[in-house]
Every structure is written in C-alpha cells, then in structure tokens.
Amino acid sequence: MKKIFISLLAAILWVAPVYAAVDYDVDVEVSHGLDHMPDLKAAIERNTARILRQMNEAADLNRGMNYSGVGIKDDARYVMNDLWATQHIRYASFDVDFNTPISEKVAMNQYGEYELRNIPVIFINPDNPADTHYEEIGFRFDSTGKIIDVFVAIERNQFQKMMNGMTEVKDESRRLTILYWMEAMATAYHEKDLSWFKTFLSDDVLVVTGSRKYTPSGEKFTYKNLDKEGYINRLRSNFRNNAVIEVKFSDITVYGHPLDDQGRYYAVECEQSYFSTHYSDVGNLFVIWDFGRKDQPQILFRGWTEKEDPTRFNIIDAVKINLD
C-alpha cells in the first residue's frame, strides 16, 4: 500500500504544471537629453522603472499602490492615488512574452521640471477587467530625479504633430506650455479633480456644453451655455455618477490672438473624445487660455460642438479685450 501511495504521489508531481514567476519589471532608458547629467539620468530611469513595476504588480494583484523604493514626492503620490481610485493602470507592452523596454527622450519644460512622456499603459476598470482603455502617461521629475507629477499625456503622434508640424505658434516653449495645461486638464477629468477646475476656470468663464439625445428621427445634440458655477455643478454631478471618466485630445491646433504681441492669449482647437461609465461622444473642442500668470493660467472660454457641426468659435470674438 505504501509503494502504491508513493508511486501515485510521484505521478502527480510529474504532471503538475510549473508556472513561471510573473515578470513585472520594465527596463527604462533615457535615450537622449540627459547625457551631460548622468546622475539625474540614472535616477529618472530607476524611479520610472520602479513605479512601473509597482503599477504592474498592483494591477495584477488588485491592490493599492506601494511606493516603497520609489523616489516620489507627496503631490505625485496623491495624483497617482487619485487616478488609481477608480481605475488600475498597467504598462502596455507591445510583446506578449516580455515587457518591451522604454527608450524615450527627457526634456526640461518651462518650469524647470524634467519630463519623460509617451509611456503606453492600459487603464483597467477593477469592477470589470474586460473594460480597458489605452492611454499614454508621463512623469515629471525634479532636479534630483524624484517623481513630482504624473499626467495623462497626449499620444505620441499628436505630440510630434504639435511640436514639428504646427506653424500657427512658432515658439516651441509656448507650444510646450499649452500642451502642459491641456494635459493637466485631461488628467483632472481622469482624477475627477473638481478643485483643479475651480482654480483654472476664470471667474467669468463661458462654457458651451453639448449632449446627445436619441429621437425617432435620429441623434440630436443640444447645447447649453454655463457660467463657472453652472459648469462646476455639472462636473460635480458627472464625477459622482460615473465611476470612470476619460478624455483624449487629438488633431490639436493652437492659435494666438493676432493683436496680442505679448503672447498672452491662445486658443486650442482639437477633437475631444469623451468616455464615461454612462455616456460617451466625440466632438470639437475650443479652449481659450490666458497666460497672464504662467504658473496659474485661466481658461476664459471652453466651447464644445458635435463633430459635424459647422460652427467654429473664434478667438477674436471670444476674447473681449482691448489689446492696444
């Protein structure tokens, strides 16, 4: 009887599958931009690799983020936790067998921060893991290589188009500034950060919103003009009623005011893709920024129309200012 038991046990052990350990690591290389600063380059590579590993592990195990060993400031941790509150984020490798290495440029922005962007990820709804959406994120670092911000980035092809092909605004630093704040707005939607909108919407902002309704004759879009209080209340309701909100910007064009020699007022015209738990649409977005204070610009106007609407907002008509 003992021999039969040992033989049976050996057979079970022989056929039992051997599972390889899950590899959460992502190799990160700063391809150029910091060759003259090797210590900073190494710190950025290390902290990016560590936070991506933690994201992969936390998403796989369905737990909260663990920042042990990651050089990250409190503000960035808060942003990451807010993003994580409703969705999990995992590195989107382009190879099924191993995590594709990252090789990206790091550049300094207008605020003296270092940016590494175009990191492909998927946002996963933990209540419905099949509900995933592709995004690109970026990290900002201080002069020591610590992560100071996490943001939802405009996708690589849009970023390259804006930086290389756009002629309406020739100043590259101004393009980066505008891009910085458009990405900040997209991130605020993802985080459901009502305080961001309270801070960066001008007190006399005009917001034109639209929504789709289905009628017997087909789709119908209705528009509504809102002041700051009205739009904040609308956002508050949307944030409360939707577990997931995602906003993407594409086909970005930026215009300066033709009478503004100081480079203070800029309009962004783009396509906005809006996705939430209970509603989604694609439309045209027009945003006017006042960069009178570069660290706290104000949104003077935000107008949305449905994709086929021929209406085009105009920076000259929307900005009622005397530039003489």
> CA 305 → CA 20, 220, 267, 283, distances in Å?
51, 12, 15, 6
Contact 197, 189 (CB under 8 A): no
> CA 253 → CA 136, 168, 191, 266, distances in Å?
20, 8, 25, 10
Facing residues of 298 across strands? 290
* Identical fold between 28-153 and 191-318: yes
* Other Cβ atoms closer than 10 A to 276: 17
- Percent of the chain at pLDDT above 90? 48
Q: Dihedral, CA atoms, 186, 187, 188, 193, nearest 10 degrees?
A: 160
Question: For residue 170, is pLDDT > 70?
Answer: no
Q: Where are the domains of the chain?
A: 28-153, 191-318
Alpha carbon distance 136, 138 (integer Å): 7
**pLDDT at 12 (0 to 100):** 41
Question: For residue 16, is pLDDT > 90?
Answer: no
**pLDDT at 221 (0 to 100):** 84
pLDDT one-digit tens code per residue, 237-288: 999 999 889 899 988 888 877 777 777 888 889 999 998 888 888 999 999 9
pTM over 0.75: no
Q: What mean pLDDT comes out for the span 146-150?
A: 97
CATH fold for domain 28-153 = Nuclear Transport Factor 2; Chain: A, (3.10.450)
**pLDDT confidence band for 323 (50 / 70 / 90):** very low
Question: For residue 93, is pLDDT > 90?
Answer: no
Contact 268, 254 (CB under 8 A): yes
pLDDT one-digit tens code per residue, 103-139: 999 988 878 899 999 899 999 888 777 778 888 999 9
Q: What is the CATH number of domain 191-318?
A: 3.10.450.50
Among residues 89, 138, 148, the alpha carbon closest in space to that of 117 is found at 138
